[in-house]
């Protein structure tokens, strides 16, 4: 993932410090984790229905 970010930086000729690049990559990683958790919750909630009387 970090290599993709470096490729995009080099391609667009943007200058970033390593701390900014690390911050952006951590935001992307956090977004991926939250997406994975959300997908898991949706799958579990669909397969484990609660029946109420």
The reply to whether 53 falls in a domain is: no
The reply to whether 30 falls in a domain is: yes
Full residue range of the structural domain in which residue 9 is found: 2-47
Using alpha carbons, select from 37, 16, 38, 35 the residue that is nearest to residue 27. Answer: 35
pLDDT at position 41, please? 95
Q: What global pTM score does this model have?
A: 0.62
The reply to whether 26 falls in a domain is: yes
pLDDT at position 38, please? 97
pLDDT by residue (tens digit) across 1-53? 567 766 766 666 667 788 888 888 899 899 999 999 999 999 998 887 778 77
**Which residues have C-beta within 8 Å of that of residue 21, sequence separation ≥ 6?**
2, 5, 6, 9
The reply to whether 52 falls in a domain is: no
> Number of folded domains in the chain?
1
Phi, psi angle pair for 14, to nearest 5°: -85, 145
Q: What angle do CA 35, 1, 18 make, to 5 degrees?
A: 115
pLDDT at position 19, please? 86
Is there a contact between 18 and 42 (Cβ–Cβ < 8 Å)?
no
The reply to whether 25 falls in a domain is: yes
The reply to whether 6 falls in a domain is: yes
């Amino acid at each position: 993932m970090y290599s993709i970010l470096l490729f995009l930086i080099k391609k667009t000729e943007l200058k970033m410090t390593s701390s900014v690049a690390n911050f952006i990559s951590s935001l992307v990683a956090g977004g991926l984790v939250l997406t994975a958790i959300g997908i898991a919750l949706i799958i579990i909630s669909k397969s484990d229905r609660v029946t109420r009387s």
